[in-house]
Structures are given as structure tokens and as C-alpha cells.
Amino acid sequence: MISAPVYAELMANPARSQDELDRFISNTGIFVEWSLDEDVWREAGRAYRGYAQRRIRSSSGHPRRILADFIIGARALVRGYTLLTFDRDRYAAAFPQLRIVSQ
């Protein structure tokens, strides 16, 4: 299963068409969760706020990551899913209770 923000990130690849992506999703049996409930949005906002505060406290400046990363992490946390990512450290800092699988 992937969330709508993940689908949008996959669509952002200029070498891939929407038809190709949709075929891949269909052929692999991946389900896209298009809607996100209030609790996901609230959790994403809390996590993003915490990230922004950590950046400012560490004198690193204003936030550089995009909100979509926090929506993806919040959805996984709220739904009790395990997140598959290459960005283990970033998600672990924002969502310490989230189960993460990474290389």
C-alpha cells in the first residue's frame, strides 16, 4: 500500500508517464490510499513543527524538508503500518514510535 503523497512523488519522475505508473501499480497489486483522515493531518503537523523547532534550535535555519514527508510518516504511524524508506534517520527523528524498514 502507498499513500497519495507517495504516488505523487513517483509521478514526479520525468522519465515515467502516469500510464506506466498506473500499470505498475495494477500489475504488482499495490493499493493507493487516496484519502487521509484528520488524525493523519494533525500528526503530520505536529511532526513538522517538531522538525522545524529542531532545525532552528540547532542553528541550521528554517525547515528544508517538504511537508509530504511528514504526511507519509504520519499516515504510517497513525495506521500502525511499517514504513519502507531509504531515509531511516529522518523518519525516526520525526516519528520515534514508527516501525521502519530501511537498507
> pLDDT category, 92, cuts 50, 70, 90?
very high
Q: Which residues contact 7 (CB under 8 A, 6 or more apart)?
A: 21, 25, 32
Q: Given a cut of 80, is residue 1 above it in pLDDT?
A: yes
Buried b (16+ CB within 10 A) or exposed e, 36-72: beeebeebbeebbeebeeeeeeeeeeebeeeeebbbb
Nearest in space to 77 (alpha carbons), one of 54, 46, 99: 99
Q: Given a cut of 90, is residue 66 above it in pLDDT?
A: no
C-alpha dist (Å) from residue 42 to 60, 79, 82: 25, 13, 19
pLDDT score of 103? 79
pTM of the model: 0.81
pLDDT score of 56? 87
Q: Scan for cell 504516488, then name that residue.
A: 7
CB 39 within 8 A of CB 46: no
Helix axes 4-11, 18-28, angle to 10 degrees: 130
17-21, 62-66, 71-75, 94-98: range with lowest mean pLDDT: 62-66
Give residue-wise pLDDT tens across range 12-55.
999 999 999 999 999 999 999 999 999 999 999 999 999 999 88
